């Protein structure tokens, strides 16, 4: 129930910063980069923007499998742990 209060989708990661609650890995990464190292987001040139999006897409795939495995193991959510760990 506590997880669903933070994220009605019931997924992780979740980040809280004051009153702000973010629930998607790419949103969390962009927020952290913008606050701590805005140069990481590039200058807006097409190649830099594409590389940032490439990294964010990779992080989303990685988070989906790891997050599903964590939900299964830590919060006892149903799931195919073998497929999530692959």
| Structure confidence at residue 64 (pLDDT) | 63
41-51 pLDDT, tens digit each:
888 899 988 88
Mean pLDDT, rounded, for 12-37: 90
| Structure confidence at residue 46 (pLDDT) | 92
33-79 pLDDT, tens digit each:
889 988 878 888 999 888 888 888 877 666 666 666 666 666 666 66
Label the pairing between strands 20-22 and 15-17: antiparallel
| Structure confidence at residue 68 (pLDDT) | 64
Whole-prediction pTM: 0.59
| Structure confidence at residue 17 (pLDDT) | 96
């Amino acid at each position: 129930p506590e997880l669903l209060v933070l994220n009605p989708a019931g997924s992780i990661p979740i980040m809280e910063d004051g009153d702000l609650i973010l629930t998607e890995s790419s949103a969390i990464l962009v927020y952290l980069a913008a606050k701590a190292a805005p140069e990481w987001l590039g200058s807006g040139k097409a190649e830099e923007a594409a590389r940032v999006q490439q990294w964010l897409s990779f992080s989303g795939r990685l988070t989906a499998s790891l997050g599903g495995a964590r939900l299964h193991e830590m919060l006892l959510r149903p799931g195919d742990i073998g497929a999530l760990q692959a």
